[in-house]
Amino acid sequence: MSKSRAQTTYESWLSNPKMDAETLSELVSIADKPEEIEDRFYQELQFGTAGLRGIMGAGSNRMNPYTVARAAEGFALYLASLGEEACRQGIAISYDSRNRSREFAELAASVFAGHGIAVRFSDELRPVPMLSYAIRHFGCIGGIMLTASHNPKQYNGFKAYGADGAQLGPEEADRVAAMMETVTDLPGLLETIKPFEQVVEHPSFKLMGEDLDQVYDASLLALTLNDDLVRQNHDMPIVYSPFNGTGNKPVRRILSKHGFTRVTVVPEQELPDGNFPTTPTPNPELPETLELAIAQARQTGADLVLATDPDADRTGVAVRAGDDSFVLLSGNEIGLLLMDYILGTKAERQELAERSFCVSTVVSSRLTQAISAHYGTDLYLSLTGFKHIAAEIHKHGDLGGGVFQFGYEESFGYLLGTRVRDKDAVVTCLILAEMAAVSAAAGETLIDRLQALYNKYGQAAENTISIIREGKTGLEKIASVMDALRKNPFQGFEQLGAVSLSDFQEGIISRVDTGDRRALDYPESNVLLYQLQGLDFMCVRPSGTEPKIKIYFGCYGEDLDVCQKRQKTYESIVLDRVNHLLDP
């Protein structure tokens, strides 16, 4: 019997005389674990528009010095191919609090320097939005962020950015991946890399520090809308948690600069710690991750709880309700509140520019349509992933002459302003705190503001369900579900009453009643979007960064109970088929 790809690759790593002792020891420990070998070596860790992301450990399908160096080498080869000026522009590098993030960042910096590419290196951990800002501010040709965002502690990642400060688009990512394919001797590559201690002495190496903090903060403060009301309510208590990540300094600093004087931080989640000791998954969209912050809010009398994930690009919010309980806002609710606040405040002052526009995604709340219509702004929908939102900002703003106001995706990512091109939890916390102060001045809470929004624009019953399947087998099951749905998209879904189906992988939208088909003007993506009656929708897609399949539901109307019942009916129908396909 011939050996599998995984077994062959495993043995080549094990027998390589250049392999380091720690890796060899880990490889020897799995010698009698075929399933472990298969999962670690069945493929090269895939590089895409989200860069690399995976579990840390030895193996070609793991995050380790060899795979990080390979990704950095591929990216460096691509950047060097752009010419000498691109190399002089250089690359910006930052990292989060995860285990080995700083080590991987230093390794990557050494790889880039070895290709004559100038390096701007963060002198301490800084979040995703500051990396994006730095790329644009310093005129870099690209950037990388060592982070696995909100994934569990065993993960790490390598996010790659272009000169616009956005994560690489599909074409650029494919070119980097092609360059990576040429890098085959990974231990040999590590032998050629200069130590970081030598790299920092080169004239083309520069640290990013307080100078970056100051200009970034100034750019955010320029986006605030109600300085006077914040000063009047400066002592409004706020509880914040950075989840042991990068948000601690920048979020507290910007809230202080805006005038808030009673911001307390959850002590157990304050300092950087890649083990994330208080939560297995540092994701602010999960209710259990906010339990400590809510407990502290009860002690301090705070009505507002803010939280950011380890790389501070996602934001979670909990608000005290009238019955003294705390309500966790959904990703859509946060986005709708921010959108209505920004557009409404500017419109009231007659400061909403001509050709203003917002950007959301095909799986986010459809109430964005009503808000945009009310204020007379344009609305563009992108695929999920902030690189796609950034592409719309570039298309309709930088190139089209429109004025970008706000963008969001339902997975707790938000952006305002044009100096950053990735989701920014720092500015989100700033504007959420300001909006809470404005509401407090009016004798309201954010819950009151949200209810008024629903009364004005319509009720919504929305939900996102994630089904996790780990490892190679899990990914194969998820792929098989998408294949089955694509082959028979309406089997078992007859009661949904679908009006049309948009298949973003095939690039076609099909009407159910007539069979008419037309092309979609979107990048190719493994997404199936079912448009149901009215504004209702259901969407299925595999996550691009986690081992899960995600199912989205949105139901809209004047009666919330009716919307909720309809959404639960849709949910039951869809889950019945998807679960059967996952585990027949």
pLDDT band at 470 (very low <50, low <70, confident <90, very high): confident
Q: Are 524 and 507 in contact (CB under 8 A)?
A: yes
| Residue 347: Cβ-neighbour burial (10 angstroms; 0-12, 13-18, 19+) | middle
Q: Which residues are catalytic?
A: 149
| Residue 122: Cβ-neighbour burial (10 angstroms; 0-12, 13-18, 19+) | buried
Task: Please give the sequence-ordered ranges of beta strands (E in DSSP) within 393-519, or none if there are none.
Answer: 403-409, 413-415, 459-468, 500-503, 508-511, 517-519
pLDDT at 390 over 90: yes
Q: How far apart are CA 376 and CA 367, in angstroms?
A: 14
pLDDT the model gives residue 544: 78
pLDDT band at 1 (very low <50, low <70, confident <90, very high): low
- Say which DSSP state 56 is in: B
Task: Please give the sequence-ordered ranges of beta strands (E in DSSP) within 9-154, or none if there are none.
Answer: 52-55, 91-95, 119-122, 142-146
pLDDT at 223 over 80: yes
Task: Please give the sequence-ordered ranges of beta strands (E in DSSP) within 174-312, or none if there are none.
Answer: 205-208, 238-241, 263-265, 304-308
Half-sphere exposure of 435 (CA within 13 A, CB side): 28
Strands 315-320 and 326-328 turn out to be: antiparallel
Q: What percent of the chain has pLDDT over 70?
A: 100
List, for residues 287-317, the tens digit of each pLDDT value: 999 999 999 999 999 999 999 999 999 999 9
Q: Are 226 and 442 in contact (CB under 8 A)?
A: no
pLDDT the model gives residue 125: 97
List, for residues 399-413, the tens digit of each pLDDT value: 999 999 999 999 999
Q: Structurally, what CATH architecture does the domain formed by 459-582 represent?
A: 2-Layer Sandwich (3.30)
List, for residues 5-19, the tens digit of each pLDDT value: 999 999 999 999 999
pLDDT the model gives residue 61: 96
For 95, phi and psi rounded to 5 degrees? Answer: -165, 160
pLDDT the model gives residue 547: 84
541 CA to centre of own chain:
16
Q: Are 104 and 70 in contact (CB under 8 A)?
A: no
The SS3 assignment for 314 reads coil
pLDDT at 57 over 80: yes
pLDDT band at 584 (very low <50, low <70, confident <90, very high): confident
Q: Cα 106–87–101 angle (5° rounding)?
A: 20
Whether 216-457 and 43-208 are alike in CATH topology: the answer is yes
Q: Are 70 and 189 in contact (CB under 8 A)?
A: yes
| Packing angle, helices 65-80 and 101-114, rounded to 10 | 40
pLDDT the model gives residue 471: 83
Q: How far apart are CA 319 and CA 502, in angstroms?
A: 36
- First vs last C-alpha separation in the chain: 29
Domain 216-457 has CATH 3.40.120.10: yes
Torsion on CA atoms 189, 190, 191, 195, rounded to nearest 10: 130
Token readout for 262 is: 């009673």
Looking at residues 47-70, what average pLDDT do you find? 94
List, for residues 85-123, the tens digit of each pLDDT value: 999 999 999 999 999 999 999 999 999 999 999 999 999
Ordered by start, the domain boundaries in the chain are 43-208, 216-457, 459-582
List, for residues 167-180, the tens digit of each pLDDT value: 998 899 999 999 99
Q: How far apart are CA 546 and CA 357, in angstroms?
A: 31
pLDDT the model gives residue 245: 98
pLDDT band at 50 (very low <50, low <70, confident <90, very high): confident
Q: Please tell me the pTM assigned to this model.
A: 0.96
Q: Are 79 and 87 in contact (CB under 8 A)?
A: yes
pLDDT at 463 over 90: yes
List, for residues 520-570, the tens digit of each pLDDT value: 999 999 999 999 999 999 999 998 777 899 999 999 999 999 999 999 999
User: Which residues is 228 bridged to in the sheet?
Assistant: none
- Say which DSSP state 209 is in: -
List, for residues 354-367, the tens digit of each pLDDT value: 999 999 999 999 99
**What sign results for the dihedral spanned by CA atoms 306, 276, 195, 168?**
negative
Q: Are 129 and 426 in contact (CB under 8 A)?
A: yes
The SS3 assignment for 202 reads coil
pLDDT at 49 over 90: no
Q: Which class in CATH covers the domain with range 43-208?
A: alpha beta
Q: Provide the mean pLDDT of the chain.
A: 96
pLDDT the model gives residue 404: 98
